Amino acid sequence: MEAVLRTQALSLWYGSVQALKGVSLDVLENRVTALIGPSGCGKSTFLKTLDRMTQLIPGVRVEGEIVYRGRSIFDPAVDVTTLRRQVGMVFQKPNPFPMSIYDNVAYGPRTHGIRRHGELDAIVEKSLRQAAIWDEVKDRLKRSALSLSGGQQQRICIARALAVEPDVLLMDEATSALDPISTSKIEELIAQLRERYTIVIVTHNMQQAVRVSDQCAFFLQGELVEAGDTQGVFSAPKDPRTQNYITGRFG
């Protein structure tokens, strides 16, 4: 199976503090990869390196390689805006723009030069349908996205990410701020989206990792301890540190 993203000996420092230590991991096409581990283990940092989001932080230094579909994302010829369209991000806390539901979803396509109303209408509807929220908002597209519930706002943010037709979707604890019903809806959505997209999620919830992911990677103190098929990692971990974490002995 093809690796859409591949990291090789990836290390990262925030100033003098090393947050990632030689991480090598393949992210497989049309699979959900879950990154698990205790707080501060490097999983969110790793996720944000995949679209070069960490380079926005002063004092960050990166060594190693990240290859996206055969090309280094650090190649000087790589346009970061294009990379972030191809590798989209959904954050932990819903962050809709202070504008209408329609304009939130249309924002990305407009940025990339799409202006015709008919084309934008079609993109907005398609994206909201893919995010499983069209039926809830189709009659109030001109209302502020901030008027929606937290779970609905998060699905609007997912629709906004999908509107630019990404290849990969990164989700940084996208359900941690949501109630159980909204969390369930997002998990169902992830299961549907895996048919079209390659998805990487960060989660503290090990039950969620088991429910939604195909591949799982366990991080500890900046190191990738173990990675593989999710069922295998949870039923027969190869490293005792993984066993200790998933059985609740620490973390």
Q: What is the pLDDT of residue 177?
A: 85
Q: What is the pLDDT of residue 251?
A: 60
Short-list 8, 97, 37, CA closest to 226: 37
Q: What is the pLDDT of residue 174?
A: 92
Q: What is the pLDDT of residue 211?
A: 96
Q: What is the pLDDT of residue 249?
A: 80
The rounded average pLDDT for each run of 10 residues, N- to C-terminus, in the chain (251 residues) is 94 97 97 96 97 93 97 96 94 94 97 94 97 96 97 96 96 92 93 94 95 98 98 97 90 60
Instruction: Categorise residue 35: left if φ over 0, alpha if ψ from -120 to 50, beta otherwise.
Output: beta
Q: Tell me the CA distances in angstroms from 95 to 104, 123, 145, 152, 193, one per residue in order.
A: 10, 20, 10, 11, 20
Q: Strand pairing partners for 48?
A: none
Is the torsion defined by CA of 245, 192, 163, 121 positive or negative?
A: negative
**Residue matched to tokens 């998805």:** 199
Q: What is the pLDDT of residue 13?
A: 97
Q: Tell me the CA distances in angstroms from 145 to 15, 96, 156, 214, 217, one per residue in order.
A: 37, 6, 8, 32, 34
H-only helix segments in 112-179: 117-130, 134-137, 150-162
